[in-house]
A = this chain, B = another copy of it.
Amino acid sequence: VPTQRYKLTVAYRGTAYYGWQTQYTSNTWKGPPPPNDELPTVQGVLRRALGGVLNHPVTIVGSSRTDSGVHAEGQVAHFDSDQAQIPVEGMRMAVNHQLPDDILVKSIEVAPPGFDAILWTVSKRYEYVVWNELNRDPFAADLAFHRWMPLDVVRMAEAAKYFEGTHDFASFAKPGHKRETTVRTVHSMSVVKEGSRIVIGVEGSGFLWHMVRIMAGTLIEVGIGKRFEPKDMAAMLAAKDRRAAGLTAPPHGLYLQWINYDEGSGFSGQGSPEEQEE
């Protein structure tokens, strides 16, 4: 049976996991890691569930390495299998049956030859959710960042417009990112109030490590109105220095919403290999 490549779309609540990427407790380990040394990660849990269903070891390559506590509505990964006799919807149902309640495989699709979840990425959307009420929400404390002071959403939206376009986002990257370039393109960015929630949405070709969380933290400070004005965003970008921007918002407000591919044309996209993102 020839080996087939598959595209997998997955949603997860990141609260219980050490992020997407498989990690080991002994990170100075020289040889192969010992059994049971693995920390709980979404990739690790998925790998075991999928391997159990397919009855062979599976390597899962995810598009975005989401950090500990970060959520996803539409993370995308690829994997290979020669178990082509299993229909994809049956495979999906069987994997979901093996997975814990906080991870859901939304779809498994047969992918075009050579499909790569990282390299074929054309664009992505992240959302950062703020719970803007005096009282916290005891049912969703891990699903949004609680800020009780009133935030000025109009000013936040005005500031967000400065991030649209192609810029050097060095001021909005965690130092130590090891990227060749810190230039990225933000296609659109918006700030919308939905009841007690403020949703910061951003779409782009790719994002640097902590980039969305630093932009969100900075916009929250603009919304408070004491430290930053919307127009300060221009000088922040120009500084190319992390210290020029605002605070890094915590991971539990961040959602990877979707990843867009241009599979039909075999177009390899604008994406670059993402070593560590968000």
Q: Please list the residues of chain A having a beta carbon within 8 angstroms of any beta carbon in chain B.
A: 11-13, 71, 96, 101-104, 106, 135-139, 141-143
A-B contact pairs, 16 of them (CB 8 A): A11-B138, A11-B139, A12-B138, A13-B138, A13-B139, A71-B139, A101-B136, A101-B138, A101-B141, A101-B142, A102-B139, A104-B135, A104-B136, A104-B138, A106-B135, A139-B143
CB of A143, distance to nearest CB on chain B (Å): 6
Ranked nearest first, the 9 interchain pairs of A and B with the lowest CB-CB distance are A101-B141, A104-B138, A13-B139, A102-B138, A11-B138, A13-B138, A12-B138, A104-B135, A103-B138
Collect the chain B residues with CB atoms within 8 Å of residue A138's CB. 11-13, 101-104
Q: 13 other contacts beyond A12-B138, A101-B138, with CB at 8 A cut-off? A: A13-B138, A71-B139, A96-B135, A96-B136, A101-B136, A101-B142, A102-B139, A102-B141, A104-B135, A104-B136, A104-B137, A106-B135, A139-B143
CB of A185, distance to nearest CB on chain B (Å): 30
Q: How far is the CA of A12 from the CA of B101 in the complex (A)?
A: 20
A11's closest neighbor in chain B, by CB? B138
Q: How far is the CA of A101 from the CA of B106 in the complex (A)?
A: 29
A10's closest neighbor in chain B, by CB? B138
Q: How far is the CA of A139 from the CA of B103 in the complex (A)?
A: 8
Q: How far is the CA of A104 from the CA of B136 in the complex (A)?
A: 7
A105's closest neighbor in chain B, by CB? B135
Q: How far is the CA of A102 from the CA of B146 in the complex (A)?
A: 13
Collect the chain B residues with CB atoms within 8 Å of residue A137's CB. 104
